[in-house]
Amino acid sequence: MTATTGRPTMSAGGRWVAAPAPSFAHLIRLSDDTGLFEHARHAIVRREHGYCTDDVARGLVVISREPEPTEEVLRLAERYLAFLTHAQDDGGAFRNRLGHDRRWADDPGLGDWWGRALWGLGTAAARSPAAWIREEALVAFSRGATRRSPAPHAMAFAGLGAAEVLRRHPGHAVAAALLADSATTIGVPGADPRWPWPRQQLTYASPALAEVVIAASQLRHGGPALDEGLRMLTWLRDVQLREGRLSVVPAGGWRRGAVRLHHDQQPIEVAAFADACATAATVTGDAAWEIGVRQAVGWFLGDNDVGTPMWDPATGGGYDGLTPHGPNLNQGAESTLALISTLQHARRWS
């Protein structure tokens, strides 16, 4: 039986139910002594697809957020941290794809995986209960944070890591510069209230961009106005509500002026929305943002366009996507980490 937090959140049909506590059982199943496997068929690991820095970094984020991890979960943090430091080159860039044969398939770069690696390292440096993990993660973060990517999403993920570091080390100049540059790369919202997004298309993990602008507004010098990030997130929230439930932009994205589709919705979008709303609630003290967190938790529990749960209580895994006919029953790393991340917020915000 799955433990619950005891805090209510919305489920299918608008019922109030207790949100389950995040389970690490499937994450442990997807991991070995090297790292975190990317894919699964149903709940069974697909070893032939190997590992990626993207998912290992996400794994380090959620484990570092655990206030009292078990010894087994803390050992995962050690493996994930070792993977990221192995992926990093002397100049701070990261490789992304490692085969099951332990051979890298790419050269070091500054794509999304670089940003997510810094997010994972920054979160570990700020939150891990193990001092030696915090110390090593900060070394690796500081090396990577001197680099810059031209890609807004990569910079957004890196900015989230910088914000974590600054919450624990307010005087960390490298992190402050990275966060400020991340907000600048993302840009400012447009004047048209019908589409205030800085770009003409919503693609993936869009709430992370708004979250970074909100976080950067707290910088002593050089930060954007708080209202810019809140306007972005408010609009994003409003366009992703459908009859009161969360209906996130699907994997194909949504271009301004085009017809918006509603499938296939990805768990990463829901987790990014929960993160951004939690940050907005913390920064502003406005309890209205807590509703967004509850809607994100509810999406996983079945309060979504199809009215179906998006996780498997028997395994603890998250389903890979919401199709018009129900969930994609594969339980890969990205979706499982999105589930864990969202349920972690239920402890405080549900």
49-70 per-position pLDDT tens digit: 999 999 999 999 999 999 999 9
| CA angle, 162 then 165 then 166, to 5° | 85
199-256 per-position pLDDT tens digit: 999 999 999 999 999 999 999 887 899 999 999 999 999 999 999 999 999 999 999 9
The C-alpha atoms of residue 347 and residue 332 are separated, in whole angstroms, by 24
The C-alpha atoms of residue 214 and residue 225 are separated, in whole angstroms, by 8
Q: SS3 of 147, please? A: coil
325-342 per-position pLDDT tens digit: 999 999 999 999 999 999
Instruction: Decide: 80 and 60 in contact? Cβ < 8 Å.
Output: yes
pLDDT class of 349 with cuts at 50, 70, 90: low
Residue-level pLDDT at 11:
47
pLDDT at 3 over 70: no
Instruction: Decide: 237 and 299 in contact? Cβ < 8 Å.
Output: no
pLDDT class of 14 with cuts at 50, 70, 90: very low
Residue-level pLDDT at 9:
55
- Structure tokens of 92? 């701070």
Q: Across residues 138-152, what is the average pLDDT? A: 98
Tell me the whole-structure pTM to 2 decimals: 0.95
The full length of the chain comes to 350
